[in-house]
Chains A and B, each alone.
Chain A
Amino acid sequence: AQTVTQSQPEMSVQEAETVTLSCTYDTSENNYYLFWYKQPPSRQMILVIRQEAYKQQNATENRFSVNFQKAAKSFSLKISDSQLGDTAMYFCAFMKTGGGADGLTFGKGTHLIIQP
């Protein structure tokens, strides 16, 4: 079974600052996907960024980027030039590839607050 750990229950930064959310995971799988999801107060989960484990290059989506360290089983999210609309719960998630169920395993989340 896979586990995902987010060690920061809550973080608060000033608008325009850069913030990094941490995520570690435990798995015996070699091939898998990692995701960061955002859940604003309206509660709908939105995919922020994804990373295939076989790719060494870190994924980037505009102001969002990841630092994927496969050997350390670490998958942190960096948000640059943070905006008020970035305030939300952020969940790190793991999905194994291959046959069988491909459900996501989520961490408990980090509540990110962007202060004006």
Chain B
Amino acid sequence: DTGVSQNPRHKITKRGQNVTFRCDPISEHNRLYWYRQTLGQGPEFLTYFQNEAQLEKSRLLSDRFSAERPKGSFSTLEIQRTEQGDSAMYLCASSRGQSYGYTFGSGTRLTVV
């Protein structure tokens, strides 16, 4: 169990650019989640995968956001045409079931300048 890995740890981008983050969950976990956390707030749910199927998307996830989980393994989160309001910590978590809680990664901190 090597934990949940997220890359990159930090990303600085210019407004209007596209960015992509990667999450490698714990291998035996079939559930994968993306959250966004802004300063002084708790994480907010973005989207959820069970295996390769994206089962839920939050209303926070605008059309500029897309997430994939090909083959039910790693996941990517892409933000197109970034805006300053997208600046946040993007957290990935995985789980083997509802009652077990999540294992979180260290997050990707995005700064849009």
- Where the two chains meet, the residues of A that have a C-beta atom closer than 8 Å to any C-beta of B are 4, 33, 35, 37, 42-47, 50, 52, 91, 93, 95, 97, 100-109
Nearest B residue to A36, CB-CB: B101
Chain B residues within CB distance 8 Å of chain A: 31, 33, 35, 40-45, 48, 55-56, 58, 89, 91, 93, 98-107
CB pair A106 B42 closer than 8 Å: yes
- Please pick, from B55, B102, B105, B106, the residue contacting A104 in the complex, using a CB distance under 8 A: B102
Once the chains bind, are A44 and B42 in contact (CB under 8 Å)? no
Contact A108 B99 (CB under 8 A): no
Contacts of B102 in A (CB 8 A): 45, 47, 104
* Beta-carbon contact of A97 and B105 below 8 Å: no
Query: Which residues of A have CB within 8 Å of B104?
Result: 37, 44-46
